[in-house]
Structure 1
Amino acid sequence: MTQNNTQNKFREDMIIVKMFTKEWTDNFSDLEKAILKLELHTKGMELPNNLFNNIHHIKCGSSFIGLSSITQLCYEIEIILIALENNAIIVKTELIDNLLLFLDFFRNCLDRLNEIISDDYVTIEDNKLFLERPYETQEIQLRQNLKLAFENCLVNDDEENDLQEGIDGEENLDVLLSEEFKGGLTEGIKEQFQIENLEHIEKIENELLIRLDSNSADREAVDEIFRAIHSIKGGIGIYLAVLNPHDTIYVALKRFSEIVHTYESLLVLIRDKGYNFENKLVDLSFFVMDYVKSFIRSIEFEIFDNREDKKILAQIKQQLIDLQSMNIPGENTQIPSPRKVSNTKEVYSKSKQTPNNPIQNSSTQSSITQSIRVNQDKIDKMMNMISELLIAKNSFMHISSKLSTDYNLPQISKEVKEVGAYVNRISDDLQNTIMSIRMIEVKTVFQKMPRVIRDIAQSTGKKMELVLQGEHTEIDKTIIEQISDPLVHMIRNSADHGIEPCEERLLKGKSEKGRITLRAYNKNKLVYIEIEDDGKGIDAESIKNKAIEKKLISQAEGDKMSKNQLINLIFLPGFSMAKEITEVSGRGVGMDIVKNNISKINGKISIESEVDKGTKMTIQLPLSLAVSRGLIVEVGQDTYIFPLDNIVETVKIKTANIHNFNGKCLTHLRGEVIGIEWLSQIFSTGEKNKDKEELNAVILTNGHENYAIVVDKLKNEQEFVVKPLEGHLATIPGITGSTLLGNGQVVLIVNPIDLVHFMDN
């Protein structure tokens, strides 16, 4: 690893550590109040809100950054809290005293950690960040005290009888142990278990295993996988603690726990012996990750496959046996075994010694990023409110104009206009702020693609690499969720159809390893995603012949088409150039769905290709779907809005320059022949108006060709909020939705891509 990469990784680690310390510090006072409230805990009383969740979050966070002392203490406190919830123990003074001692210990650790991560105390060894833990004696004593307090607080026979009599005089302890009583706690842990573990798996398979696939001696990646698997195993223990041992999910989770524990043992052996993470280990790990993902998602339906459990466990155990039979590290081992870390000193530093009660450095605290966690539903609700505000602000201009023209009140009109301008500035700032909160990096989607490429390379025998560029480009979360599947399909197409076999590439004078580049960038308030390969490219003539053979077009139609038009035939339903159907492609049910899905989010896709040089597919996407800008037009008595993203320009076209050819209208625009159609004809609301010498036209594009749409009037640009149509109205072709103008008028939003499709037909 280069020095520069080491520093970048170090800075990322610091951001993560500071994020956790800031969150813990913010929640500290709430945690203290919740523990003090436990002294009021009596028969049948619920635990203070969020106490268990706070302890669980601290445990998971400390495990993630490697503070096993805090992790272990939190785990033991969770056991205490679960026992309290189930009335298996009672609250005594010594229990509260020790929980408060944990808080004091935790506060000291936080203070020290904030000092350590300042520039004066940080050191890097072997490309790893090491921290110091100075409170070993206090930690051991505290753990012993917590265990003794737990044992002393166990409910004895007399206390159990009192407890049983005290619950309405009739209820018994079985009620407290019932699913209804523990339901809230169980559901919370279940949700946390699923969310956190899926995040761990995503990082392992989309980043760490890909790194190991290209560098089998990456010790850092092995360490990170081990920490993630260890966290998953800890989460299993917490989940099991709140389940009924007779439940189906409990039995399945125990088997799952055995598999995770066995895989963790395999990782420990690889780490401690310094073995390289060879391809067979990567393959096995991907298999394990697929199984773990499948199991976690199966929890929702509680349907588990015991045969799959046995199969995966047998494979892991066999790999363990194979490695254990080796007495020395493999000959290919390039990096020595990492320094072993004891259970009591897992992180180290060459920093200064500090007293037992360190004082937090105020400059360190002030440098920590201020952040809070907000539920996604709340952000969506705020975005909807901002959208309504945009509609309201447009009303000011309408009212101002009406006061001036209809009521001859210019002074009041001016004042209303000034207030409207002020509201406009505020709403713009609010809109930009809320939209920035909704923005996430495309990295979340891009990280899935190396796995896709690897799987195709193995199934086809090709050699290829994936280059990711612009992963930090941001786009609205809603769009990210909808673009994932189309991107996967396009990447698979590039790998399967675009990249040639090694022998064929060598004959063409290319390197045997194909190259696919996935990049993202911002341009003109839009996001562009490109998939480019250096493969065999697309032969337009072959496309034409295949389309004619499949009777998708006629010979006459094919002869009239340009190169771009022929290439875009791959978006037709049922079209495929594959000679045989494989697991990867060949059914002809992909690219048309890709185009439709991209169109639904107001995006466009275009293709450029040269034979034997490669292909580039470009997706153009809006930054957000919530708020857009559009051009208001009128056709007869109707008003419509065209989204600006699809408008090239607005022009006036002389009627004398419009010509008929094969039943279609064409015109010349700066030397280019483009199709022209009347919006009134498309929507069947009126006749063509050819009486005027000049016609108003909106020039639209579908990414590779331009078309002209004739309207009666071109009005102003305006921001608008898309309100989707429902029921039968939602199926009207050519209409995206509706919106409100400032005067309260409902207008339809035109879908330009659909209009272009109408004109092609």
Structure 2
Amino acid sequence: MKNPKKKILVVDIMCSKIYIEDLDVLKMFVDKWVKYLKGLEKEILKLELHSKDNELLNNIVECAHSIKGGSSFVGLWSITRLSYEMEITLEAIRNLKLTVNTGLIDSMLLYVDFLNDYIKNLLKVLKKQDVKTENGIRYLELKYDHKEELVLKSLKMSFENCEAKDTEGSNTQQETLEEERSLDILESEEFKVGLANGIKEQFIIESTEHIERMENDLLMRLDTNSDDREAINEIFRSIHSVKGGTGIYLAVLTTQSSLYIGLTDFLEVVHTFESLLTLIRDKECNFEKNLLDLGFMVMDYLKSFINSVDSEEFMNIDNNVIIQKIKEEILNIGELSSSLVQTTKTTTAQEVNKVEESRSKGSINQSIRVNQDKLDKMMNTISELIIAKNSFMHISAKLNVEYNLSEMSKEVKQVGTYVNRISEELQNEIMSIRMVEIKTVFQKMPRVIRDIAQSTGKKMELFMEGGNTEIDKTIIEQISDPLVHLIRNSADHGVEDTEERLSKGKPETGSIILRAYNKNKHVFIEIEDDGKGIDKDNIKKKAIEKGIVSEEEAVKMNEAQLINLIFLPGFSMAKKITEISGRGVGMDIVKSNISKINGKIIIESEVGKGTKTTIQLPLTLAVSRGLTVEVDGETYIFPLEYIVETVKISRNDIHKFNGKFFTYLRGEAIGIEWLSKIFLMGDRDTESEEVSAVILSRGAENYAIAVDKLKNEQEFVVKTLEGHLADIPGISGSTLLGNGQVVLIVNPVDILQLVEK
């Protein structure tokens, strides 16, 4: 027996307000929808005959998703709700939980008819331009008599009346399928959880994008020009979109959950801030400092809430203080009826009630974004192909040398060259998909500078260059925190206060330059300030006081070595501890995090002139090039990005002093150590006249690592070591050569640290 029909709860929004400033955006969306609807009806009719055509399903889902997103952005909730239900239906078909039949197709066509009628009515309103005003706010009113209830009921009945059928089966299976099987998809617990998780991911991603843009772009523009009307309008649209996404997420949560209650508080903040932005926009107020500070406060609240939702353990964040501050600013603008302020929370509650009433269960909505995991898997597959193509050259050489089959060897080599070309093209294409512009990190920095300027009273300005430089997304995610720390150091330690700058003949406003550029298959990031610089004598004194180095060792150090002392744990030059810096925690972690992604950091400074910090990063971590070497019969790989050169050193040119070896290379004294000794394999190559060495770079200095034999350069794919092997000093992973041999990858940073010990 079928479950009894449940009461259909729908959002019956009969009237929408269209703000005058949003007309251009609305017209843009309407033009897109008209194009979609022209082909949507045909696609749905095709679906009746070809329900297994995934490409056809994807096209329809894409149309519904795009219409849903656009309607949510401009506040046409009827279209948003129906498009959302349409996505649920299509996803159920895709997952074979719903069988396509005539009734279902009819319901989908009702959706198309509703959209056509709605848009026609909308176009009439736009053409008529009957502008209304309420509390100084100008808008067009869209009234629509045709409710969406019929379409929603039809889609709901399709769910209830359709039974999942094995379409691969024959007529002999019909008797089994005719048994009563209640397929109440919308009520299954698995379905509810899947739906909530899918919408949660979309809510977090889209909200974060809007919040970051408001904070790092639009509010910063208003900080320099408080009358930037375009920025004010864009902030309003972004906060309006966040409100729409919040409403959709609320629709799939249970009212008893703590997240639901917290989300209503979040929605209240968003709605109240939107009311303030509406007044600022319509009354053409400037975004003065008090509003700007409030805007950043709202962004901090929104970010904290989103991060809390993203975490496994949600904790509600009190919104009373921020709500009160927003309402005070609403009152300060003046000429606002008290009803707007008093009904802010009431209005929000009504919106929440409408969302609650519209609650329905359905399938996970399809996102058009590509999951990062899929890209990683594709990259891993390409990496395996790179290993496989290296085998062709090994087999070719073996056929020629060991079996004297020169012709066959030549053919294998040709095939290997062909596979090599294809693998390189695939690798480049996947790499281009993974690459993102570094401005996604840069755009956070103006807010950091502004906060420090306000807390310290200094005047400073940030200039950014090369934001369109591209780098692997994995590296972007790991470089963000170190970069913030370095920017904070430049602002707090580097740039002087106004009086000191003026006394030195400098402009009262300090400048910090953040630039990025590509060079030699690497990305370079530079942070340069015109501040006080780093005093090497002070570093030397501080290091001796802390017992980091002795006086004798400090005297022998050059400028680069002294500056590198700031990367030691616990070292700090700050005279006092502040909220910004001074605890001696940070620069060692910065260097460690950069080293983990095969990067290098170099600091150059001149007292009284300023400091420049340069970070060198690889374009990607997926595939690297390295030099294979041999030590005691074992093969190792050195990543090329750390290698300055390879040399042969005469035994007579190696000298010993205080238990350490050194040599002269083009007149410069550099240290030398045997890799076999570092890996506790004993001394090697003591009788040979020449020593093969790899010259590694550690900032401004070079160091020679002696090996038994230098072999060849090749591409390799890093495979991380796990378990008790993961913490082997001097080893960063392993890889597979073309001949099937497993070799270890040397970590040059660890090697140089082991040498120092």
Quick one: which amino acid aligns to residue 149 of structure 1? Answer: L
Aligned to 1:614: 610
Aligned to 2:551: 555
Mapping 1:462-473, distance limit 5 Å? 462-473=458-469
Cα distance in 1 between the residues matched to 2:105 and 2:425 = 53
| 1:730 is the counterpart of 2:741 | no
Q: Which of 485, 493, 498 is the equivalent residue of 1:497?
A: 493
| 1:202 is the counterpart of 2:198 | no
Quick one: which amino acid aligns to residue 285 of structure 1? Answer: G
Cα distance in 2 between the residues matched to 1:554 and 1:688 = 33
Quick one: which amino acid aligns to residue 100 of structure 1? Answer: V
SS of 2:220 mapped into structure 1: helix
Are the aligned partners of 1:648 and 1:700 in contact in 2 as well (CA < 8 Å)?
yes
Cα distance in 2 between the residues matched to 1:411 and 1:220 = 70
Quick one: which amino acid aligns to residue 719 of structure 1? Answer: E
Moved more, 723-732 or 516-525: 723-732
- Cα offset for 1:756? 1.8
Cα distance in 1 between the residues matched to 2:682 and 2:584 = 39
Aligned to 1:757: 753
| 1:394 is the counterpart of 2:390 | yes
SS of 2:705 mapped into structure 1: strand
Mapping 1:5-20, distance limit 5 Å? none
Aligned to 2:272: 262
Moved more, 457-466 or 245-254: 245-254
Mapping 1:97-116, distance limit 5 Å? 98-102=110-114, 104=116
SS of 1:744 mapped into structure 2: coil
Judged with a 3 Å threshold, the aligned counterparts in structure 2 of structure 1 residues 600 and 181 are, in CA distance, closer, same or farther, namely: closer
Judged with a 3 Å threshold, the aligned counterparts in structure 2 of structure 1 residues 168 and 54 are, in CA distance, closer, same or farther, namely: farther
- Cα offset for 1:390? 0.8
Cα distance in 1 between the residues matched to 2:154 and 2:738 = 67
Q: Which of 64, 68, 74 is the equivalent residue of 1:59?
A: 68
Identical columns (%): 61
SS of 2:319 mapped into structure 1: helix
Aligned to 2:413: 417
Quick one: which amino acid aligns to residue 219 of structure 2? Answer: L
Aligned to 2:252: 242
Mapping 1:184-333, distance limit 5 Å? 184-300=194-310, 301=312, 303-305=314-316, 308-324=318-334
Cα distance in 2 between the residues matched to 1:237 and 1:52 = 21
Aligned to 2:681: 685
Moved more, 220-229 or 314-323: 314-323
- Cα offset for 1:722? 0.6
Structure 2 unmatched runs, 5+: 1-23, 52-56, 93-102, 131-139, 164-177, 338-366
SS of 1:144 mapped into structure 2: coil
Cα distance in 1 between the residues matched to 2:33 and 2:375 = 22
- Cα offset for 1:579? 1.1
Are the aligned partners of 1:80 and 1:150 in contact in 2 as well (CA < 8 Å)?
no
Are the aligned partners of 1:441 and 1:474 in contact in 2 as well (CA < 8 Å)?
yes
Judged with a 3 Å threshold, the aligned counterparts in structure 2 of structure 1 residues 302 and 258 are, in CA distance, closer, same or farther, namely: farther
| 1:717 is the counterpart of 2:728 | no
Are the aligned partners of 2:243 and 2:271 in contact in 1 as well (CA < 8 Å)?
yes
Aligned to 2:565: 569
Are the aligned partners of 1:676 and 1:707 in contact in 2 as well (CA < 8 Å)?
yes
Judged with a 3 Å threshold, the aligned counterparts in structure 2 of structure 1 residues 313 and 686 are, in CA distance, closer, same or farther, namely: same
Are the aligned partners of 1:521 and 1:529 in contact in 2 as well (CA < 8 Å)?
yes
Aligned to 1:664: 660
SS of 1:754 mapped into structure 2: helix
Cα distance in 2 between the residues matched to 1:617 and 1:707 = 22
Are the aligned partners of 2:439 and 2:468 in contact in 1 as well (CA < 8 Å)?
yes
Cα distance in 1 between the residues matched to 2:275 and 2:569 = 50
Q: C-alpha deviations, 1:627-676, integer Å up to 9, x for none?
A: 01111111121111111111111111111111112221111111111111
Cα distance in 2 between the residues matched to 1:378 and 1:372 = 13
Judged with a 3 Å threshold, the aligned counterparts in structure 2 of structure 1 residues 501 and 387 are, in CA distance, closer, same or farther, namely: same
**What count of residue pairs does the alignment treat as equivalent?**
659
Cα distance in 1 between the residues matched to 2:397 and 2:183 = 74
Quick one: which amino acid aligns to residue 745 of structure 1? Answer: Q
Cα distance in 1 between the residues matched to 2:37 and 2:646 = 54
Quick one: which amino acid aligns to residue 313 of structure 1? Answer: I
Aligned to 1:74: 80
- Cα offset for 1:249? 2.4
Moved more, 751-760 or 285-294: 751-760
Q: Which of 531, 542, 562 is the equivalent residue of 1:546?
A: 542
Moved more, 485-494 or 686-695: 686-695
Quick one: which amino acid aligns to residue 572 of structure 1? Answer: L
Cα distance in 2 between the residues matched to 1:168 and 1:502 = 84
| 1:381 is the counterpart of 2:377 | yes
- Cα offset for 1:92? 9.8
- Cα offset for 1:270? 0.6
SS of 2:726 mapped into structure 1: helix
Moved more, 595-604 or 252-261: 252-261
Cα distance in 1 between the residues matched to 2:208 and 2:42 = 27
SS of 2:580 mapped into structure 1: coil
- Cα offset for 1:296? 2.3
Q: C-alpha deviations, 1:106-149, integer Å up to 9, x for none?
A: 99999x9xxxxxxxxxxxxxxxxxxx966999x99994324463
Cα distance in 2 between the residues matched to 1:141 and 1:324 = 28
Q: Which of 430, 435, 440 is the equivalent residue of 1:434?
A: 430
Quick one: which amino acid aligns to residue 592 of structure 1? Answer: D
Cα distance in 2 between the residues matched to 1:706 and 1:92 = 72
Quick one: which amino acid aligns to residue 239 of structure 1? Answer: Y
Structure 1 unmatched runs, 5+: 1-12, 41-47, 86-90, 113-131, 328-370
Aligned to 1:336: none
Quick one: which amino acid aligns to residue 232 of structure 2? Answer: V
Judged with a 3 Å threshold, the aligned counterparts in structure 2 of structure 1 residues 81 and 246 are, in CA distance, closer, same or farther, namely: farther
- Cα offset for 1:511? 0.9
Cα distance in 2 between the residues matched to 1:238 and 1:598 = 40
Judged with a 3 Å threshold, the aligned counterparts in structure 2 of structure 1 residues 107 and 476 are, in CA distance, closer, same or farther, namely: farther
Cα distance in 1 between the residues matched to 2:326 and 2:308 = 21
Normalising by structure 2, we get a TM-score of 0.79
Judged with a 3 Å threshold, the aligned counterparts in structure 2 of structure 1 residues 218 and 660 are, in CA distance, closer, same or farther, namely: same
Cα distance in 2 between the residues matched to 1:383 and 1:170 = 43
Are the aligned partners of 2:64 and 2:87 in contact in 1 as well (CA < 8 Å)?
no
Moved more, 98-107 or 592-601: 98-107
Quick one: which amino acid aligns to residue 59 of structure 1? Answer: K
Are the aligned partners of 1:700 and 1:709 in contact in 2 as well (CA < 8 Å)?
yes
Judged with a 3 Å threshold, the aligned counterparts in structure 2 of structure 1 residues 429 and 50 are, in CA distance, closer, same or farther, namely: closer
Judged with a 3 Å threshold, the aligned counterparts in structure 2 of structure 1 residues 97 and 390 are, in CA distance, closer, same or farther, namely: closer
Normalising by structure 1, we get a TM-score of 0.79
Moved more, 747-756 or 512-521: 747-756
Quick one: which amino acid aligns to residue 647 of structure 2? Answer: V
Quick one: which amino acid aligns to residue 73 of structure 1? Answer: I
- Cα offset for 1:62? 5.2
Are the aligned partners of 1:73 and 1:143 in contact in 2 as well (CA < 8 Å)?
no
Are the aligned partners of 1:31 and 1:51 in contact in 2 as well (CA < 8 Å)?
no
Cα distance in 2 between the residues matched to 1:275 and 1:318 = 15
Q: Which of 472, 480, 485 is the equivalent residue of 1:476?
A: 472
Cα distance in 2 between the residues matched to 1:247 and 1:434 = 41
Cα distance in 2 between the residues matched to 1:171 and 1:383 = 43
Aligned to 2:515: 519
RMSD of Structure 2 on Structure 1 (CA): 3.9
